[in-house]
Structure 1
């Protein structure tokens, strides 16, 4: 079973779509990096057709002829500009972005957004060495939650990815071929820590899951990838943000800025019926930790993670992190990203803790429903000591 089908089996409708010629054309456009220019081109054609039909019926000339023609001309100009400036790089040299060293941990995580267009340059030697050293550090067994090793491989070739443009440098996240849930969580947690520190230095990043072509990745990895032992989880692009971006991708970026409210993500009970009042005691002691989880990236911006804050005698005993789907890869990566942001926020507040996978008896707070399903807990160090089960 290939990587795609390991995530979740295809439905009959999905299989039907993927067998159509127009789907294959769409995928060809996507993997050749022309798809991001298609919406503009289609809009130009449709507006020209509308203008022509308006001329034939000869009614409401401004609305059916002049206005569509004007919009078509403007979109065509924009399309030509996008192709020349983004795809072929005909634009003035861009300055390097400034660092975010002055931001505190919460503002830093809030400032980080997915970059969809990168400058036509490689990272400086200093920045590249930083990214690689962080990737090595955070993927070490002692810094992970699972005993099953993960690693990050560096590629400085233009991989086939969607929808980001101008990508040239990547970390490829690799876990064991045999599925281990917490190893996938480790990928999200460890790589997000790299992303946070890269953001501090002014680097732009973009998580890429289903939009990455594994064939091109495996080709560039060469002997570093063993299909019998390794499984590609996702990739993350690194570089410098460019202000030149196709119009269609600008639209995608705007739609992906939406996030669920904190009260829809954190709860005070395992039935997920009591939204957490983060301003009430004792929850408010964790301040913006909830917010930085709220703004964590996830595949398709699905936000498949939930948190349950368990209290006893007005004291927070632990935070249970749960997944809202049975997805074995994308939801687990997203949950790992939440864990990294939660840790970073707790560290900034001076709240020490550890991650543990607790049995139902150890949780003692009633069973969780089928979904959201329990994955792992964060336990403050002030809580009674319990044997850490693969925690960090």
Structure 2
């Protein structure tokens, strides 16, 4: 039987693991940061109407440039962030991962490098490798914030072509201050022509305002978003970005023909009609997220400040054993390889109650203390090239 290593793989892909999270049949699943609330029935009906309209024209290719969708996304961003965004500043694709892939195809590639500050969203490194872009793992502080001076020094030393900043950061939930992004942007552009990509997949859940207004006067800055989380549409696979119109023109050089289907566009347009209803669910999840933080701290856990729809907590001598103990109680959360820490998505009140009951029992069994084991997927030293360690990607 042929093994993957028997194939003529590119060297930077050897020994890597594909993206994925355990998909187990358990009563409570809080491991992939999904919005737990199903779409409201009026929206489901509206999607059916929109898709039926699209179906009548499926013999034709979809709108290649998704103009109506981009216009509606621009209006949504303008209304919710207070920063006016034009249609020519928005681009949409199949999930924010495809947006990131297109950015790396244009601004990364062989002979170029990208840097991110880990632990962070592991698809940044995976997509970098997939596009032939060398990955550099930057370091974070012990509290998972970005050390501005240290990060700037790493950028000056590495001279990257793409800088990733995830805010709120996955898997830690940590938000990044606007001042930090500005410092990194100015540092990166002072070194060489470079793109700075702010990943705001969880932006709607943050206590802080969006970083989108930073786009003004900064043509090398990009903000990526998704409809998977706040819009409760993980199954839709619709991501988008806001940037200077020139950046939107640039990614169209590499986008596949008619990459967004008519059905995807129709479904996304229907969801945007129900923005206020869906953002109401976001407010509920923010309250539940804050409740998880408070109650986990009350139990005795060390909890990272969260601006996302998930919470990182610990610390465990053996985080995987603690993950298994919670799973044995019918609750699936995530072990993403951060030493001594686990991550739980905010669910419905009932789901969160079930998790907290399991967390209380596990605390009595496992206690909390630093995990001294090596952390899969996190580099021991800043600047370590990708491929020296493997990781389970975070969603």
Q: Using structure 2 for the length normalisation, give the TM-score.
A: 0.28
Specify which structure has the bigger relative contact order, considering alpha-carbon pairs within 8 angstroms and separated by 6 or more residues.
2
Rg larger for: 1
